[in-house]
Amino acid sequence: MRKFLAFLVLTTAATTLLRAADGPDQQMEGSFFGQAFNGGDLDPVVTIFKFDYSGRLTGEYSVDEETGQYKGRLSNFRFEGPREVTMEWTDKFGEGFARMEFSDDYQSFTGEWTDNQGSNPLPWNGKKQP
């Protein structure tokens, strides 16, 4: 029984270390307050990143514009580097692509979004709120 428990502990620790080394950093999770270029100017945006039960990154955002607030969804995340991620956005206005690069401490990101043809990139940023 001792050998089995030791094996189980070592296997669990090794799996955790491998996931941490290969996968996205859990520090990416949280609410980020920033701005996105929208409708001719920069509007306030809250971007939320979460990991679901299977460890997959998901997201959503909420934009405050002159005519009110609207929400959107972020999906199909692809990790392009240690802190860079690309994704697709979808909201009532359509869909397209976004790219974000996180700071070393994952407390902020700078990025851009485009339409579904990938043309005319526009800024999107955020700073993590406690």
Q: E strands within the chain?
A: 30-38, 41-51, 57-65, 68-79, 84-91, 94-102, 108-115, 122-128
Neighbouring residues of 116: CB distance < 8 A, sequence distance ≥ 6:
94, 95, 96, 97
- The one-digit pLDDT tens for each residue of the chain (130 residues) are 555 444 433 433 433 333 344 456 788 999 999 999 998 899 999 999 999 999 899 999 999 998 999 999 999 999 998 899 999 999 999 999 999 999 999 999 999 999 999 889 999 999 999 8
Report all structural domains of the chain as residue ranges with CATH numbers, in order of start: 27-128 (2.40.128.120)
Q: For the chain, how many residues are written?
A: 130
In this predicted structure, what is the pLDDT of residue 80?
Answer: 93
In this predicted structure, what is the pLDDT of residue 25?
Answer: 77
Q: What stretches of 23-107 show up as alpha helix (H) in DSSP?
A: none
Contact between 60 and 126 under an 8 Å Cβ cutoff? The reply is no
Contact between 116 and 94 under an 8 Å Cβ cutoff? The reply is yes
What is the number of other CB atoms lying within 10 angstroms of the CB of residue 86? 14
In this predicted structure, what is the pLDDT of residue 130?
Answer: 82
In this predicted structure, what is the pLDDT of residue 104?
Answer: 94
Residue type, 123: P
